[in-house]
Amino acid sequence: MTCEEARVLLHALIDGELDAGNARHVETHVAGCARCTAELAQYREMRQAMRGTNLRIGAPDALRSRIEAAISRPVRAPAPTRRSLLQGFALGTALSAAAAASVVFVVVRSDQDQHILGDVVSAHLRSLQGNHLTDVLSTDQHTVKPWFNGKLAVAPPVADLAAQGFTLVGGRLDYIDGKAVAAIVYKRRVHVINLFVAAAADPGHTAARGEVVQGFNTQRWSDQGLRFIAISDLSNDELREFHTKFEAALRAGA
Amino acid sequence: MMLAGRRRSGRVRDARTMTGDVHDPARARRFRDLALPHLDEVYTLARYLLRNTADAEDAVQECYLRALKHFDTFRGGAIRPWLFAIVRNVCRSAYAQRSLGEEKPTDDALPLWNEAPETPEACVLRQRDEESIRRLVSALPDQFREAIVLREINDLSYREIADIIDAPVGTVMSRLARARAMLRAAWQSAEQEGRQ
- Cα distance between residue A141 and residue A147, in whole Å: 10
Q: What is the pLDDT of residue B181?
A: 94
What pTM did the predictor assign?
A: 0.53
Q: Say yes or no for a CB contact (<8 Å) between A179 and B72.
A: no
- Strands A216-223 and A206-213: what pairing? antiparallel
Distance from CA of A196 to the nearest CA of B (A): 9
**Diameter over CA atoms, chain B:** 69
Distance from CA of B47 to the nearest CA of A (A): 8
**Minimum distance, in Å, between the CA of residue B195 and any CA atom of chain A:** 19
Residue B28: enclosing H or E segment and its boundaries?
helix B25-35
Q: Do B32 and A71 touch (CB under 8 A)?
A: yes
Please report the pLDDT score of residue A131 as a whole number: 64
Count of pairs with CB atoms under 8 A, one residue in A, one in B: 243
Chain A residue numbers with beta carbons less than 8 Å from the beta carbon of B25 are 72
Which tens digits make up the pLDDT trace of B155-192?
A: 999 999 999 999 999 999 999 999 999 999 998 888 77
The closest alpha carbon to A250, from A171, A155, A169, A179, belongs to: A155
B19: nearest CB among A49, A85, A176: A85
Among B119, B121, B163, beta carbon nearest to A93: B163
Which residues does A77 contact at the CB level (< 8 Å), separation at least 6? B19, B21, B22, B23, B69
Q: Which domains does chain B have, with CATH numbers?
A: 24-98 (1.10.1740.10), 112-195 (1.10.10.10)
Q: What does DSSP assign to residue A23?
A: H
Residue of B nearest to A182 (CA): B2
Angstrom distance (rounded) from CA A17 to CA A37: 19
A 177-196 near B (Cβ less than 8 A): 177, 179, 181, 189, 191, 196
Whether B94 shows a pLDDT value over 90: the answer reads no
Is residue A44 within 8 angstroms of chain B, CB to CB? no
CATH 3.30.200.100 residue spans of chain A = 111-253
The pLDDT of residue A92 is: 41
pLDDT at B39 over 50: yes
Q: Which of residues 219-248 of A touch B (CB under 8 A)?
A: 220, 222, 227, 229, 233-235
The CATH number of A111-253, from 1.10.10.60, 3.50.50.60, 3.30.200.100, 3.30.1320.10, is: 3.30.200.100
How many CA atoms within 13 Å lie on the side-chain side of A101? 6
At A82 the pLDDT is 40
What pLDDT shows up at residue B52? 87
Residue A220: which of B3, B28, B68 has the nearest Cβ?
B3
3-class DSSP state for residue B107?
Answer: coil
Residue A40, min C-alpha distance to chain B (Å): 10
**Contact by Cβ (8 Å): A241, A217:** no
pLDDT of residue A72: 78
Facing residue for A46 by CB, picked from B18, B166, B180: B180
Q: Does residue B54 contact residue A60 with C-beta atoms inside 8 Å? A: no
Residues A230, B2: contact at Cβ < 8 Å?
A: no
Kindly report, residue by residue over A116-139, the tens digit of the pLDDT.
Answer: 888 888 888 888 876 678 887 778
β-strand partners of B77: none
Say which amino acid occupies B125.
L
Task: List, as ranges, residues 132-161 from A with C-beta within 8 Å of B.
Answer: none
Residues from chain A contacting residue B168 (CB–CB below 8 Å) = 212, 215-217, 233, 235
For A37, name the nearest residue in chain B, comparing CA atoms only: B121
For residues B4-24, average pLDDT: 41
How far apart CA B54 and CA B40 sit, in angstroms, is 15
Buried b (16+ CB within 10 A) or exposed e, A88-122: bbbbbbbbeeeebebbebeeebeebbeebbebbbe
* A179 Cα to chain B: minimum distance (Å): 8
| 3 state DSSP class of A230 | strand
Interface predicted TM-score (ipTM) of this complex, two decimals: 0.76
